[in-house]
Amino acid sequence: MRPSSTLSLLALGSVAQAAVSLEDSSLSPREIENIERAIEARSLADDIWNDIKNAATCTACQGILVLLKGIAVFGDGAFVSVATELCKLAKVEDDDVCEGTVGLEGPIIADAIRNMDLGSDTSKLFCGSFLGLCPEPSVPQWKIPFPSPKPQTGRPAPSGKTPLKVVQYSDIHIDPLYVSGSSSNCTKPICCRPYTAADEPGKSTSPAGPNGDHKCDTPVGLEISMYQAIKNIVPDAALTLFTGDIVDHAIWNTSQPYNQKQISDAYTYMSQYLGIVYGTAGNHESNPTNAFPPRSISNSSQWVYDALSDQWTRWVGASAESEIESIGAYSTKYPNGNLRVISLNTNFYYRMNFWLYQEDIEQDPDGQIQWLVNELDAAEKAGERVYIIGHMPLGEGDAFHAGSNYLDQVVNRYSSTIAAMFFGHTHVDHFEVSYSDYNSRDASHAVMASYICPSLTPTSGMPSFRVYDVDPETFAVLDTTTYIADMTNADFQTTGPVWTKLYSAKETYGSKLNPPVTDASVELTPAFWHNVTALFESNSDVFNEYISLKSRGWNVASCTGDCKTQELCQLRAGRSENNCVVPSIGLHLNKRSDELHGHSHHRSHDHQECGMSAGMKTLGSLAVRKDLLDELESRANELKAKA
């Protein structure tokens, strides 16, 4: 560490002490006076800025934390008010979005910051996630104890019997306040609401059609159209997987009753149109968005679990109720075959669930991993096949390395019992491969495939759903076919969305492998998916086709060089520490209007589509805007002077 950094850290340390002690007043007046003199003598903001310029970014972040603590100790109100002001100054969102979002998530961030120790792993995790200034701390070792050794038997061979159909859709993000004819051109996270008089139908120069727009969430008509299409195209579906996110992206204006109604309405429609639906908890189901506190901290998300339980028990039975109500997860037996579906609450490993930034970080929030191990072990002993479903894919940049590492150990142990894993959250069409050895990521070490279903909401591509052909005995996935409603189709806004097949994995990828994998009865094994990544690597035409399919042909950006390397690395990362994502300083700071739409091609920490946070963007801007740092410092000093 350079001398100036050491000096500034010493000064920072004292302010942190002062900040903490102002609350418990354990410092003597003389000590406080000394600290105040030390602060007056130099500007912390200047030191922090120098550290950032000199690439001492993690040190700089600890300094920013000192300033934030200096605000947070004065209470949630003080923190929310300063953070809202900074959000507006930074112009990360419109003023009303800043007020609403920071008002909702600010108290959770303030709670974490107040309790955070400088230099701790929690503080580094925070600095990495919010400001992009520290690398993620290495995973605290936890070798998960398993009740039984892994059996020698591998994945069972397909039975060759007539396949079943399994449907998946995800990220429906229904906007009940969507108004046809209102403006689709706005500066908020979603448009197609008459936010101002000029946005009203008849006034706007960019009127939204009735059935959806890429700058808006899903109108109810588009939602119903998808359920009807599923019913028509797959009348014989055995079961449906819905991988979460019901509520719209107007996250500055959600509330508990609003979200409860969205959850209830969506599952009611599903129950009217579809057979068995297995759901999972999306990060948008909660209010504030993303807020899922472990029970050891708070039971404030109890209402979400209760709301989900009320809906899910019609399909998973009353026996699953207690697990849903306690951790938002369940394990249930499919009634018509030898399959168990385990739905995980992945919000416990989600970077934007600010309740997780505790001192100390919980190793296994609410014991979900331990519970999962017990469920899988019982399933294995009973000879059952298992599908794991969840909202956030476990290899994403959004997934904490620690939780992802622990779950990867479980997936490796039970890789002969788990037939496949299914997720959503990213809104794009892709997959992730898990390996038994991440230093040898090849076909022989591939142990699991995660299927990531593109969204219904059109914000990052054409509205989509998937159909899997699966073996009726082993539940192995034999093929996947993705359907879309093409929004460029002239009929889309008039006679209505037309749902058509976009592609199938065997036709588009399997046929180009060497040797080809096209036989209808052959499983798409983890090794198959690894081989597809190798095909992408060597064949740029197939890779470009994949990139185009990711957003279902909409706003396709070219992906070569580093972009391609990053993309391949992500596909080969069922475990997030191996996804090659590195935090970038300040993360992303522009509001939606400035962002390239349809960008969602795995930029590092691309939260825009999955769960935006004005608080995160605001704090991130402190790492790139000296004027905001100065403002933060002067607010901290003002509060201290008043105390």
Q: Report the interface residues with ligand NAG, using CB under 6 A.
A: 177, 185, 193, 195, 205-206, 250, 253, 255, 258, 299, 302, 443, 513, 517, 525, 527-528, 531
* CA proximity to 363, closest of 587, 596, 582, 144: 144
- Nearest approach in angstroms of CB 298 to ligand NAG is 8
Q: Which is nearer to ligand NAG, 443 or 568 (CB)?
A: 443
Nearer to ligand NAG, 213 or 486 (CB): 213
Q: Which is nearer to ligand NAG, 332 or 358 (CB)?
A: 358
Element (H, E) at 135: none
CB 281 to ligand NAG: min, Å: 16
Residues 155, 462: contact at Cβ < 8 Å?
A: no
Closest CA to 354 of 309, 396, 302, 400: 400
For the record, the structure tokens of 459 come out as 């914000």
**Which tokens belong to 267?**
């599952």
Identify the bridge partners of residue 169 per DSSP, sorted by sequence position. 242
Q: Which is nearer to ligand NAG, 408 or 523 (CB)?
A: 523
**Dist. CA 641–CA 643, nearest whole Å:** 6
Q: Which lies closer to ligand NAG via its Cβ, residue 187 or residue 370?
A: 187
Per DSSP, the three-state class of 166 is strand
- Annotated ligand binding at 605? The verdict is no
CB nearer ligand NAG, residue 256 or residue 338: 256
Least distance to ligand NAG from the beta carbon of 513, Å? 6
Q: Is 164 helix (H, G, I), strand (E, B) or coil?
A: strand
User: Which string of DSSP letters, residue by residue, matches 525-580?
Assistant: -HHHHHHHHHHHHH-HHHHHHHHHHHTTTSSPPP--THHHHHHHHHHT-SSGGGS-
- Residue closer to ligand NAG by CB (options 299, 374) is 299
Q: Is 253 annotated as a binding residue?
A: no
The DSSP result for 460-492, as a single string, is GSS-EEEEEEE-TTT--EEEEEEEEE-TTSTTT
DSSP 350: B
Q: How far is the CB of 332 from ligand NAG (least distance, A)?
A: 23
Helices and strands (H and E) in the chain: how many: 19, 12
Which is closer to ligand NAG, CB of 443 or CB of 624? 443
The span from the CA of 87 to the CA of 628, in Å, is 10
Please check whether residue 47 is in contact with residue 64, taking contact to mean a CB–CB distance below 8 angstroms.
no
Pick 84 or 464: Cβ nearer ligand NAG = 84
Query: In whole angstroms, what is the distance from residue 182 CA to residue 550 CA?
Result: 29
- How many whole angstroms separate alpha carbon 570 and alpha carbon 551? 16
CB of 198 to ligand NAG, least distance (A): 9
* Minimum distance from residue 395 beta carbon to ligand NAG (Å): 20
Residue 3: other Cβ atoms inside 10 A: 7
Contact criterion met (CB below 8 Å) for 173 and 284: yes
Output phi, psi for 190, to 5 deg.
Answer: -130, 150
Instruction: Please report how close the Cβ of residue 509 comes to ligand NAG at its closest, in angstroms.
Output: 10
283 labelled binding-site residue:
yes
Beta-carbon contacts of residue 344 (< 8 Å; ≥ 6 apart): 280, 329, 368, 372, 388, 389, 390
Least Cβ distance, residue 444 to ligand NAG (angstroms): 8
Cα-based distances in Å from 55 to 5, 271, 568, 623: 11, 55, 29, 11
Q: Of 127 and 250, which has the nearer Cβ to ligand NAG?
A: 250
Check whether 245 is labelled as a binding-site residue: yes
Compute the least distance from the CB of residue 478 to ligand NAG, in Å: 13
Neighbours of 391 (CB within 10 A): 28
Cβ at position 485, least distance to ligand NAG in Å: 22
How many Å apart are CA 227 and CA 216, to the nearest integer? 19
Contact 475, 339 (CB under 8 A): yes
Q: How far is the CB of 521 from ligand NAG (least distance, A)?
A: 14
Q: Tell whether 607 is in a known binding site.
A: no
Minimum CB distance to ligand NAG, residue 134 (Å): 34
Separation between Cα atoms, residue 80 and residue 191, nearest integer Å: 26
Residue 288: asked if its preceding bond is cis (omega within 30°), the reply is: yes
Nearer to ligand NAG, 132 or 194 (CB): 194
Q: Which two tokens stand for residue 405?
A: 């590492």
Nearest distance from C-beta of residue 248 to ligand NAG, angstroms:
9
Which tokens is 274 given?
């579809």
Left, alpha or beta for 425 (phi > 0: left; psi -120 to 50: alpha)? left
Residue 619 burial (10 A CB sphere; 0-12, 13-18, 19+):
buried
- Identity of the residue, 153 or 205, whose beta carbon is nearer to ligand NAG in the bound complex: 205
**CB-wise, 422 or 528, nearer to ligand NAG?**
528
Write down the residue that tokens 């933060």 correspond to.
632
Gap between the Cα atoms of 189 and 250, Å rounded: 7
Binding-site positions for Zn(2+): 171, 173, 245, 283, 391, 425, 427
